[in-house]
Amino acid sequence: MFTSVLMIEKALTSADVEFVTTLHGDEQVGFHVLLQPRGDQADRLLRAIDDVALGELDDAVREGETPEGREAQSVGERALEVSLTALRASGAQADGRLIEDHPLDELKSVVMETGADEVIVLTDPHYVEEFFLRDWASRARHKVGVPVLKLFSHSKA
């Protein structure tokens, strides 16, 4: 079985599930999902800049409404459960957990514990972080010792 650690920041859409579960053709894949809610990952200014860069001005205005702290954790728990259920329904094995702090330290630990074959980072674009190579995928490439694939979410959850 091929083992992937999947880092996400929101619930997977059906298009996302189909995309990640078909990356390796007919090979059986098991996923270890790590979800850090977007509200805990970046400050509001960076999120607003990303929204503006994507032409999503309405989203930039609403960045102040993005849940943070305990509220983000509750939203994250629901998003994780939805994602795990969707992966399992597609026939994949899946388990997961929320990440509260230090996502790359947690990622490295999970890769080592599970003997993962790869890491897939599936998020919305984060142009500021990506430009400065501070996004999850860029930083993980120097830390985890397995291939890291950066994918963009197909649509809003």
- B/e letters for 136-153, b = 16+ CB within 10 Å, e = fewer, are bbbbbbeebebebebbeb
For residue 109, what pLDDT is reported?
94
Angle at which helices 14-21 and 70-89 cross, to 10°: 60
pLDDT tens, position by position, 32-55: 999 987 654 456 555 556 566 656
Q: Give the residue with greater pLDDT, 143 vs 129.
A: 143
pLDDT tens, position by position, 96-138: 999 987 788 999 999 999 999 999 999 877 666 666 656 778 8
For residue 17, what pLDDT is reported?
96
Percent of the chain exceeding pLDDT 90 equals 49
Q: Which residues pair with 97 in a beta bridge?
A: 34
